[in-house]
Amino acid sequence: MSLVGRIEDLALSDIFQILSIGKKTGTLVLKGSRGNAIVVFKNGLVVRAETDDIEKTIGEELVNAGVIKDTIYNLTLEVRKKLPSKSIPEILLELGSVNKEILDKITKKRIERVVYHLLLWQDGDFQFELDDVNPFGKAELPDFGWELSKGMSPEYLLMEGARVYDESTRTESLTTEELSDTAEGSSEEIWSEDWESHPPERKDISSLKALTQELRFPNTTSEITLLILRFASEIFQRGVLYMVGDRELFGLGQFGLEIENPDEKIRETTIIYENSSFLKRLIEERKPYKGVLEKDEVTEFMVDVMGGYWPENAAFFPIIIENKVVALLHCDNYTSKEQIPSTDGLEIFIDQAGIALEKTLLQRRLQDLDKNSKE
């Protein structure tokens, strides 16, 4: 399989979802106005990612972190001139200057940064070559980094990249407000006035403000489901999003699960909700539920899939399209015995997500009708 196209036509989030769900192995090469990048997948997980859209190479980051000295780094650069098929981390490992644990640790953080930068790309070409995991020669990059011994979930990387983007935009907004405020008075006075007159904003409401704008113009249904999971992860410790069938629940995505290969396991999960009077009632009533999770064979299986640890309380949020529940979000704070916090913002967002999904499906139907009429 060779996947080729433009980022303008197929978003990076969709590409990642396709490769993750298909458990593909190969190298994704991207070239755009912001630079070049490679992302290497193994069995649907990301094991390597590099771009020249980041100022420093991984070797320079190791120097800045004090892991290696300048002299060692300069020696590595000289060796690499003679061995261009090796990356800087590989040479450092062979020289005995770093170990695999350090390289894995710094590479995980670097992959998160690379994906964050790629999410900002507005244009470019992409090409995925199946079963080809050798990135050398496929893109003009200063270095090709280090390959992780254990890959990272594409879904996690997309959620983390989007979270960093949200935080950066909030910081930029705050800085602008502070600058305008300081023109009228001292920052100390302004902050004291704000503190006295405005209580801290609830977490679900601040998340609602941050993510609603993104929900207005989603490219695909997968982007909408990722936004729902991101929002819920701000309030709950763990959660699973299910697609609802006539009598079954099919796993779509998750956050916070402390199990091996959580995304893969959830996508392989099918739950017969018809055998649970509790779940069947929730779906029939089509209303959010927060409270005690009733025990039966089906709900016990749901909790086992999430890693066990029966919660004191749980929350369920139905996603409705055309007056029918099409998806169900199950969340809890399993390590805390406190009551579930207010979820007004999340419930409003899920309502809006249902409308956005309905619009997306309607557009798809119209496109299919138009295509059929032309044929």
What is the structure's pLDDT at 167? Answer: 61
For residue 276, is pLDDT > 50?
A: yes
Q: How many helices (H) and strands (E) does the chain have?
A: 13, 11
Tokens matching residue 365: 């139907």
In angstroms, the Cα distances linking 289 to 59, 278, 328 are 50, 11, 11
pLDDT at 228 over 70: yes
* Confidence band of 285 (pLDDT split at 50, 70, 90): very high
- Is the pLDDT reported for residue 278 higher than 90? yes
CB 141 within 8 A of CB 30: no
Name which residue leads in pLDDT, 175 or 287. 287
Q: Are 310 and 328 in contact (CB under 8 A)?
A: no
pTM of the model: 0.55
Which band of pLDDT confidence, cut at 50, 70 and 90, is reported for residue 141? very high
Residue 27 has pLDDT above 90, yes or no: yes
- The pLDDT value given to residue 179: 35
Q: Quick one: average pLDDT of 141-164? A: 86
Q: Which of helix, strand or coil describes residue 144?
A: coil
Indicate whether 2 pLDDT > 90: no
Q: Which of 317, 313, 320, 319 is nearest to 341 (CA)?
A: 313
Q: Which amino acid is at 150?
A: K
Among the ranges given (64-73, 123-132, 236-245, 340-349), the one the predictor scored with the smallest mean pLDDT: 340-349
Using the predicted structure, report yes or no on whether residue 186 has a pLDDT greater than 90: no
Lowest mean pLDDT among 18-27, 212-221, 329-338: 212-221
Summarised one tens digit per residue, pLDDT across range 100-137 is: 999 999 999 999 999 999 989 999 999 999 988 988 87
Contact between residue 34 and residue 124 where contact means Cβ atoms under 8 Å apart: yes
For residue 182, what pLDDT is reported? 36
Give the relative orientation of helices 154-182 and 187-197 as an angle to the nearest 10 degrees: 110
CA angle 333, 338, 343 (to 5 degrees): 65
